[in-house]
A and B are shown apart, each in its own frame.
Chain A
């Protein structure tokens, strides 16, 4: 089966600009996660979806970050406006049965 797809793989923007990331999970996986991985740290959950509903967004900086999962399949994560500290790798994962499968990530650099 195809893995989790993410795009773009790399993005460089200036602070205060906006950016969007896209994720296509493994077919049939109802649960989708977005994690933020800052250099030198482990990934941290930003938001979790079950189908197209939000399960947990307690760690999402809602003043600048937003995410949606239309029709319970693809998801987009948006940052507006970006700050320097948003420089990180954004990982999307989908899961079932006590396992999560990760995409390759989007590396964001904010200058």
Chain B
């Protein structure tokens, strides 16, 4: 069975500071990994995905994540936080293809002016 653990239910950063959201996964097969963002009263928007190609994945809005198999991690980073980045972020894992996503509990990012 697959699972995802997101460390920290709430992360607060200053505007312009580095954003680091942590995600660790468990999977018995090579995983496909995703980060989604959810703004209030909206659905989930895909930020980036890892599908067994390059281990450093770049996504939208200057977000990126690095797949580290030895650490079973897929942490999300952004060099400089903007106020508009304040949202809920979800890490998810799947077995690829059309298999369903297994999500973490989410991390709420607050950006302080």
Q: List chain A positions with a Cβ less than 8 A from chain B.
A: 4, 30-31, 33, 35, 40-45, 48, 50, 55-56, 91, 93, 95-96, 98-105, 107
Q: Other CB < 8 Å A-B pairs besides A100-B46, A105-B43, 13 of them?
A: A4-B43, A35-B101, A40-B106, A41-B105, A42-B90, A42-B106, A44-B103, A45-B101, A48-B98, A91-B44, A98-B49, A99-B49, A102-B43
- Known contacts A42-B92, A102-B44, A104-B43: A50-B103 contact under CB 8 Å: no
Query: Which of A45, A102, A103, A105 is B100 in contact with, Cβ under 8 Å?
Result: A45
Q: How far is the CB of B34 from chain A (nearest CB, A)?
A: 8
B104–A48 contact, CB under 8 A? no
Nearest CB in chain A to that of B103: its residue: A42
Instruction: Count contacts on B: residues with CB < 8 A to the other chain.
Output: 25
Q: Which of A31, A55, A101, A104 contacts B42 (CB 8 A)?
A: A104
**A93, B90: Cα distance in complex, Å:** 15
A96 x B98 contact (CB < 8 A) = yes
Assess whether A56 is in contact with B97, with CB atoms less than 8 Å apart: no
Q: Is the CB of A91 within 8 A of B43?
A: yes
Contacts of A103 in B (CB 8 A): 43
- In the complex, the chain A residue whose C-beta lies closest to that of B50 is A98
User: Among the listed B32, B44, B104, which residue makes an inter-chain contact with A98, where contact means beta carbons less than 8 Å apart?
Assistant: B32
Q: Which of A4, A50, A100, A107 contacts B101 (CB 8 A)?
A: A100
Q: Distance in Å from the Cβ of B73 to the closest Cβ of chain A?
A: 17
